[in-house]
Amino acid sequence: MMPLGEDGPRWKKRAQDVREIYEFRETLGTGAFSEVVLAEERTSRKLVAIKCIAKAALEGKETSLENEIAVLHKIKHPNIVALDDIYESGGHLYLIMQLVSGGELFDRIVEKGFYTERDASQLIRQILDAVRYLHDMGIVHRDLKPENLLYYSPDPDSKIMISDFGLSKIEGSGSVMSTACGTPGYVAPEVLAQRPYSKAVDCWSIGVIAYILLCGYPPFYDENDAKLFEQILRAEYEFDSPYWDDISESAKDFIQRLMEKDPSKRFTCEQALQHPWIAGDTALDKNIHQSVSEQIKKNFAKSKWKQAFNATAVVRHMRKLQLGTSQEGPGQTIPTSPCELLEAGASHGADSRGCERSLGPSCHRPPQD
C-alpha cells in the first residue's frame, strides 16, 4: 500500500470487488453517509469492521473524509482504534477497521457487581495515555465522550479503546483551531466561546468523563441549550450530596484540575498522569457500583445515544459464533480471535455544517433520586 499522501488517490488500494477479499456478515450501524459491516477476511479468517462510504454521498464532504483518514492512518496505539486498509471499489470507499468486541463503557459498568474509584482511575489513566499520544503527534480528538469509549474484548480485564475520529484535527505547527465542534455536555468553555483553542479541549473532556464515571450523571445539564452553554462557559459544576459524599478529595481535585475554565491553567495529559489519583494510591477501593449504575441507567438511556455503531451487535454476534477471546499480549494479533477494535461513528467532519449538527440538543437528564 502506498503511503498516505496529500493528493488523495495514493492512499487507496483498488479492487474490482471488495467482497472477493472480505465476506460481509451483518450491518453493525449506519451513519450520515456511511455504513459499518462486520466482515471476515477470506484468507486469514480475521474479523474486521468495514466502514462503507458511498462516493456519491461524499460531494462536498471530501475534505472531512480525507481528514478522518489522514488522522486514523497515522495512529498506532494500544488504546486507540486502528485503520488497517483503505479500498476503492466501484462506487464506494471501504475503510477496513479493527473490530472491537467488548461492548460499551456504560454497559460494562452497569453489568459489574463491584465498581470503585480505582476502577475509574484505571480507565482514565488509559484514556490519558492514549490522548497524550495523540497530542504528542499534534492530533486533537475534539469529541471525547463515554459513547466513544469501547472495550477491546469481553474479558473482565479488557483495556478500553478510543474510537470515532470524525471530528479530529491534525494541528499544524503552533496552530490553534476555532471551529465549534463537539458534543454539548463535553465541550470546553473556550470552544463554546468561539475562541481559538488547542489540545486543552481534550483534557477538559477527560475531566467531564471522570466526573461521570464517579457519579453516573453529567456535570452540566439543562433542557435549554443556551442555559447549558452558560453553565459550561462559567464552568459551573458541583459535587452534589449524596452522590459525591463517598468520593475522595483526591478524585475531586483531579477533576477540578482538568475542568479548569482557563485552558492555560488546565492540566495537560502529562500533568494529569502524574496526579496522585492516577499515579498514586489515593483512589478509593470502596464499592460505589449501586449509586453510579443507578444514575447511569437514568441519565444515559440507550435510546438517547446517537451512535452509528451498535457495539452490542458485535457482542451478540461473537456469542452467536461462540468465539473465544484472545489473550491481550503486547502487539499480538490472533487472526481467529474476535479481533480488535472498531472506529465506527458517522464521520461528522470538521466543516461548519457538521459542527452545527453535533452541537445539537444535549441528551442527558439531571441527577434523579
Helix axes 117-136, 200-215, angle to 10 degrees: 170
Q: How far apart are CA 207 and CA 205, in angstroms?
A: 5
Considering the entire predicted model, what is its pTM? 0.75
Residue 89 pLDDT: 83
H helices of 184-310, where? Answer: 189-192, 200-215, 225-233, 249-258, 269-273, 276-279, 289-299
Range with lowest mean pLDDT among 10-19, 72-81, 147-156, 246-255: 10-19
Angle, CA 246 vertex, CA 116 and CA 102 arms, to 5°: 20
C-alpha grid cell, residue 356: 452545527
Which domains, and CATH codes, for the chain? Answer: 105-306 (1.10.510.10)
Is 55 annotated to bind ligand?
yes
Q: In which band, very low, low, confident or very high, does the pLDDT at 369 lie, cut at 50, 70 and 90?
A: low
Asked whether the predicted pLDDT for residue 361 surpasses 60, the reply is no
Residue type (1 letter), 241? S
Q: Which residues belong to the active site?
A: 143
Radius of gyration of the chain from its Cα atoms, rounded to whole angstroms? 20
Whether 128 and 273 have beta carbons less than 8 Å apart is answered as: yes
Range with lowest mean pLDDT among 21-25, 74-78, 348-352: 348-352
Asked whether the predicted pLDDT for residue 59 surpasses 70, the reply is yes
- Closest CA relative to residue 301, chosen from 217, 176, 181: 217
